Chains A and B, each alone.
Chain A
């Protein structure tokens, strides 16, 4: 194994410039090359850096070619950075991995020229390139997952505005499907705002919630109970006829909770309970 690797190392060192040129050429010639997303000069710089790191890796770790060993730190960091930038630019996983895999052809050609015992050498070279390519794909996926998770968190935060309607009255207009994770965040921010604004009444408006199943109802009841434990009353408003039917058919008990069909009704009740009265002022036109 180490014999073949030293051949690879030799080729990488001696024919670096030729390899680089051929590789960049191969990348540019590949079908579906994304020159719209990355410039040729940038590609050249990335390729050059990769080759340098590859030589370093092969030199430091001639035996095992185990990518997780510290000898390959540089190249791993580089590939992670590369996948990250390509993932955010909109490359597909295949296009990202092709960056590494397209090195195969020029490298194999150079190896064939340099060494008689090509089969074994090419085998170890292909192993090396494959593992690097797979690592790139992994890094790409990790980045995408990070992006998705971050967006999810942001969505959750965005979707839970607790608004102060009046002195002592807060409202939580819920929009979208409620799941356990979201309900937890919603509940926490609602309770927190109740304390901050010293509000004895909280209105939970579910006009924007498409469906209410047993889980959602249970989550809502949990929020209502927690608010009650703290000393605030909850009013649930915006229950649509269909949802009301579902609730009854599911046999859910909402008798402990004040429910109103519209947010306006809930606001009226809340203001009445806090000792306010809504009066229409007489306008000159009305007299």
Chain B
């Protein structure tokens, strides 16, 4: 079974969904993501869904769930790149993805997530890690 890759980008995790997901893939992503957030101590998760041409109620709920899980693990989630058609379908289905923050592009999404330097604790940690690495 294919898995959606989760990329670590500094203090962020980047997930780019480029294929139409089926339910098992979505569940696997949810598990993997929860695992990676606690592993890396990431403060933000960016999910790019610009590749998705449609979203059903299951995937919609999964996005809400991921946001919820991430929040519990102290990370913020931003969903970016939703296509107009997808947005209209979701609204028609009555799925408003409560609790999910959204942005138009990856850049704008990154700007919405906590910057590494703004949060002093995180910055210290990273410096400490870097120092340890050297």
User: Chain A interface (Cβ within 8 Å of chain B)?
Assistant: 187-188, 191-192, 194-195, 198-200, 222, 225-232
Contacts and interface: CB of A to CB of B under 8 A. Distances in A.
A200 B87 contact: no
Contact of B104 (A222, A225, A226, A230): A230
Contact of B102 (A191, A199, A222, A229): A229
Contacts, number: 57
B84 interface: yes
Interface stretch (B29-37, B89-97, B122-130): B89-97
Contacts of A198: 104-105, 108
Q: Is the interface of A mostly helix, strand, loop or mixed?
A: helix
Contact of B91 (A200, A226, A231): A226
A231 B88 CA distance: 13
Nearest to B107: A198
A230 B91 contact: no
B30 to A, nearest CB: 19
Contacts of B102: 228-231
Given A198-B108, A226-B87, A230-B82, 20 more contacts: A191-B87, A191-B88, A192-B84, A194-B104, A199-B104, A200-B103, A200-B108, A222-B91, A222-B92, A225-B96, A226-B90, A227-B87, A228-B96, A230-B83, A230-B84, A230-B87, A230-B104, A231-B81, A231-B103, A231-B109
A188 B88 contact: yes
Contacts of A229: 82, 86-87, 90-91, 96-97, 102
A227 B80 CA distance: 12
A222 B92 CA distance: 8
B88 A187 contact: yes
B50 to A, nearest CB: 10
Nearest to B104: A231
Interface of B: 78-84, 86-88, 90-92, 96-97, 102-105, 108-109
B91 A195 contact: no
A226 B108 contact: no
26 contacts: A187-B88, A188-B84, A188-B88, A192-B84, A194-B104, A199-B104, A200-B103, A200-B104, A222-B91, A222-B92, A225-B96, A226-B84, A226-B90, A226-B91, A228-B96, A228-B102, A229-B82, A229-B102, A230-B87, A230-B102, A231-B82, A231-B102, A231-B103, A231-B104, A231-B105, A231-B109
Q: Is the interface of B mostly helix, strand, loop or mixed?
A: mixed
Contacts of A226: 84, 87-88, 90-91
A232 B104 contact: yes
A230 B84 CA distance: 7
Contacts of B109: 231
Nearest to A196: B84
Contacts of B90: 226, 229
A229 B93 CA distance: 13
Contacts of A192: 84
Nearest to B95: A229
Contacts of B87: 191, 226-227, 229-230
Contacts of A188: 84, 88
A230 B103 CA distance: 6
